[in-house]
């Protein structure tokens, strides 16, 4: 469960909290996570540093909560009747999100987290669940249609695909079009999901 900061001493002021969230996003987009400070965020939100620290223990906790509430994977229900087409639609939705403003923010934080174990831990605990839920529904339907028969490790598959996409979008900056998405589905996911584990043991 994602850690949520608690206000000490009095009820939350939702408008003030919203102002702090907006200020934090503004600062990160302008100077990046590493150069962002609680002092600058408080100044832009027109609150004191003490007000910020009453709600969040440190910068990592504040930024992580802001990102979790701000970045959403708005993936609608996917049910084409085909495992292959469902997976293509799912990945395409994820790519659209990563290429957008929210995705750029998240990728930037993931980069910063390489040198910040605390931030890395918080981001890992606050992974959005929307995509995992849709992916699980897709795979369960495929099992009922007997397109796949064995068990599958959804966490591992999600991590592998996510790493490929982030590397392509943020590091190598190569195209992530339908042809590339199809290559992931046909070259990695379908073979993995339809592989008979018992045959491999022979």
When pLDDT is cut at 50, 70 and 90, the band that residue 29 belongs to is: confident
pLDDT of residue 116: 76
Tokens encoding 143:
């099992």
User: For residues 140, 142, 146 and 148, what is the CA-based torsion angle, rounded to 10 degrees?
Assistant: -90
Domains of the chain: 14-70 (1.10.10.60), 83-196 (1.10.357.10)
Average of per-residue pLDDT across 65-75: 68
Burial of 23 (0-12, 13-18, 19+ CB in 10 A): buried
Please, what is the angle between helix 101-113 and helix 14-31, to 10°?
70
Min mean pLDDT across 44-53, 57-66, 110-119, 136-145 is at 110-119
Q: How far apart are CA 146 and CA 98, in angstroms?
A: 32
Q: What are the pLDDT digits (tens) for 136-175?
A: 899 999 999 988 876 788 888 888 998 898 888 878 889 8
List the helix and strand counts (H, then E) for the chain: 12, 0
Quick check: 62 and 41 in contact, CB under 8 A?
A: yes
Quick check: 107 and 67 in contact, CB under 8 A?
A: no
């Amino acid at each position: 469960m994602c850690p949520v900061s608690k206000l000490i001493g009095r009820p939350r002021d939702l408008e003030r909290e919203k102002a702090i969230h907006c200020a934090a996003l503004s600062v990160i987009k302008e100077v990046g996570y590493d150069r962002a400070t609680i002092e600058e965020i408080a100044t832009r939100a027109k609150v004191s540093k003490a007000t910020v620290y009453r709600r969040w223990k440190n910068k990592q906790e504040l930024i992580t909560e802001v990102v979790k509430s701000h970045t959403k994977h708005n993936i609608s229900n996917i049910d084409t009747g085909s495992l292959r087409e469902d997976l293509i639609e799912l990945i395409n939705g994820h790519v659209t999100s990563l290429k957008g403003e929210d995705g750029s923010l998240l990728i930037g934080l993931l980069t910063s987290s390489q040198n910040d174990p605390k931030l890395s831990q918080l981001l890992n605990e606050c992974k959005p669940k929307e995509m995992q839920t849709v992916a699980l529904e897709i795979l369960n339907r495929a099992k009922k249609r007997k397109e796949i028969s064995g068990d599958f490790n959804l966490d591992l598959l999600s991590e592998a695909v996510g790493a490929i996409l982030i590397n392509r979008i943020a590091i190598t900056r190569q195209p992530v079009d339908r042809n590339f998405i199809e290559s992931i589905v046909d070259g990695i996911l379908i073979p993995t999901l339809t592989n008979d584990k018992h045959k491999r043991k022979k």
